[in-house]
A and B are shown apart, each in its own frame.
Chain A
Amino acid sequence: MSNTLSLSEPSVADLSVSDRLRKKASRHMKERVIESLLFLAAAMSVLTTIGIIYILVKESYVFFQMVPLSDFLFDTQWTPLFDDAHYGIMVLLSGTITSSVVALLVALPLGTIIAIYLSEFAGFKTREIAKPFLELLGGVPTIVYGYFALTFVAPLLQKIYPDLPGFSLLSAGLVMGIMIIPYVSSLSEDAMRAVPMSLREGSYAMGATRLQTALRVVMPAATSGIASAYILGISRAVGETMILAVAAGMQPNLTFNPLESGATITSYIVQVALGDLPHGSIGYQTIFAAGLTLLLITLAFNLLGFWLRKKYREVY
């Protein structure tokens, strides 16, 4: 009985009990195997992330050996494929920012209003019907949105504003906004519905209307969740590729005017990755620098979201 912790010698009757309590080798093995499998599954995603960051940083390092960081940040042209090559990321960034701003101007207000409606005003039946449709909107492949922007929204906008080019950041951004609505509304609604009924009752009991309750009590109480929804929406907008590749045109254009066409970081990466640039050429290397820029932007927003969640954690 070397491995039991009994203070006194076990009696004969107790032996069976301590036998039963002893670790069974087979069960122990099984537990270890399961634990390892679970760990591997968890490690997979972490390793993938590390791998992606490693490649981006390594390849970008090669790029920055050839192109000084100051050129990358401050040059006002992006012509890596020309003889007179310029590498000003601001050109692509301006396209990303402009299209994202247009998209967010659509998605954040509409998404929030839909969330308020579904969470605070809609009846049970309306909600059960509307939610799947809304989520369907999020499930439409973005390439379909791209063609929707190019073949339907752009001509429609040209009727209002004839000078608008067929490819524009505006039409792509508007459709991108529609695509992002369900992400914003769904998460915001979850956050608002998680606000305890007791807070709503407190508000109603003070004589508040439904709108006052929604805007003054429920929304502030759900701030952290709504902020997360917004951050997710921003990340989606910044990272969206297909809609922009299809509908925004791919000419790098340093502009913050949504009525022009332009390339974004993502659409540029698609263009180069699909093209026939030789690996290792500086033109090819640019997509890693662009990708790293994109990653840093999303990372910044994730950190912001993390900070907001901590600052406005639910205090009910």
Chain B
Amino acid sequence: MDANVTPVPVTPTLKADVRDLDFYYGSFHALKKVTMPVYERKATALIGPSGCGKSTLLRCFNRMHDLYPGNRYEGGGIVLHPDNTNLLAHGVDPIEVRMRISMVFQKPNPFPKSIFENVAYSLRVRGLRNKSELDDRVEAALKGAALWKEVSGRLSELGANLSGGQQQRLCIARALASDPELILFDEPTSALDPIATASIEELITELKEKVTILIVTHNMQQAARISDYTAYMYLGEMIEFGITDQLFIKPQKKQTEDYITGRFG
């Protein structure tokens, strides 16, 4: 077997790195000194049992926690490259962060708008009004999300009329439309049937050619199938981070091994 052949001929570029990040929900210490890199144009998966903090970590990247009172980032940070700025610093506008780091949610959440307007949303909030440019970019985003063929004839229909899998691809198109540097996926297939899941996974594999991907998943097979790097978290701590193949075949930590072999979690 060639399992020992390490597939890293070129060192990947760092897109973001989490450094000693502490996060609290009120008094609950949800992330404890978490450190991990995110590599450019790679898919990084966050795995771990429920409540381990993987979604919490993901939502730090686009400052989603700012929406709710009582949440605190404390110490450490997430440094975005190449500008080398800490996303969590006080002077950083969360809206600017979200303009660059987009997100796809667990349950498809299309807006109560037409398919076109759903995708155009992220462009319109940036002030883009030019009709032909909107048309072009919506089309490009829908093509990027492998949805164009199915919806090109009915862009004015409500997004909610699509099937679950199509709705999720619509949400991916919406996230793609503004050309983000990083897309966060929060268990994007957990509400979908196996066929829709397969199409989303295929899509993510294609997307990582162009954009950096960070994905939370409950499904270890999914992490193994689509990610280049995997991080295993437990109780708010980063237990192990590594190249996906290596982490699944030869985990360094006993805890990781117990989890991925199904002895726990």
Contacts and interface: CB of A to CB of B under 8 A. Distances in A.
Binding between chains A and B = yes
A226 to B, nearest CB: 12
Given A204-B64, A207-B122, A315-B158, A220 B105 contact: no
A216 B99 CA distance: 17
B109 A198 contact: yes
Interface string A196-232: 1011111111111100100011001101000000000
Interface residues of A, number: 23
A223 B158 CA distance: 15
A25 B175 CA distance: 65
SS class, residues of chain A in contact with chain B: helix
B69 interface: yes
B208 interface: no
B234 interface: no
Interface in B128-187: 158, 160, 171, 174-175, 178
Given A204-B98, A206-B98, A212 B105 contact: no
A315 B175 CA distance: 21
B112 A202 contact: no
Contact of A124 (B69, B107, B110, B124): B69
A124 B68 CA distance: 11
A316 interface: yes
Nearest to A314: B112
A202 B69 contact: no
Given A217-B111, A316-B112, A205 B99 contact: no
Given A204-B64, A206-B122, A216-B121, A123 B69 contact: yes
Contacts of A203: 111, 121, 125
Contacts of A124: 69
Interface in B76-95: 95
B112 A206 contact: no
Given A207-B99, A207-B125, A208-B125, A201 B105 contact: yes
Contacts of B111: 199, 202-203, 216-217, 220-221
Given A315-B112, A315-B158, A315-B160, A202 B105 contact: yes
Contacts of B121: 203, 206, 208, 216
A131 B67 CA distance: 22
Given A199-B109, A201-B109, A220-B111, A207 B103 contact: no
Contact of A207 (B107, B113, B126, B158): B126
B64 A207 contact: no
Contacts of B98: 204-207
A315 B160 CA distance: 7
Nearest to B96: A207
Interface string A219-262: 01101000000000000000000000000000000000000000
B217 interface: no
A221 B112 contact: yes
Nearest to B126: A207
B62 interface: yes
Given A123-B69, A201-B105, A315-B160, A209 B112 contact: no
B184 to A, nearest CB: 8
A223 B112 CA distance: 10
Nearest to A217: B111
A188 B99 CA distance: 30
A109 B250 CA distance: 64
B102 interface: yes
Nearest to B66: A204
Interface string A260-297: 00000000000000000000000000000000000000
Contact of A212 (B107, B109, B125, B158): B125
A220 B122 CA distance: 16
Contact of A206 (B69, B107, B125): B125
Nearest to B118: A202
Interface in A40-95: none
Contacts of A221: 111-112
B160 A204 contact: no
Interface in A143-199: 196, 198-199
Most buried by A among B96, B111, B175: B111
Which of B105, B121, B178 counts the most A-chain CB atoms under 10 A from its CB? B121
Contact of B113 (A196, A212, A220): A220
A20 to B, nearest CB: 44
Given A200-B67, A208-B125, 11 more contacts: A201-B67, A201-B105, A204-B64, A206-B178, A207-B95, A207-B96, A207-B99, A207-B122, A208-B121, A315-B112, A316-B109
Interface of A: 123-124, 196, 198-209, 212, 216-217, 220-221, 223, 315-316
11 contacts: A198-B105, A198-B109, A202-B111, A205-B175, A206-B102, A207-B126, A209-B95, A209-B125, A216-B125, A315-B158, A316-B109
Enumerate the 7 nearest inter-chain pairs by beta-carbon distance, A residue then B residue, closest first: A206-B122, A205-B103, A207-B99, A207-B98, A198-B109, A208-B125, A202-B109
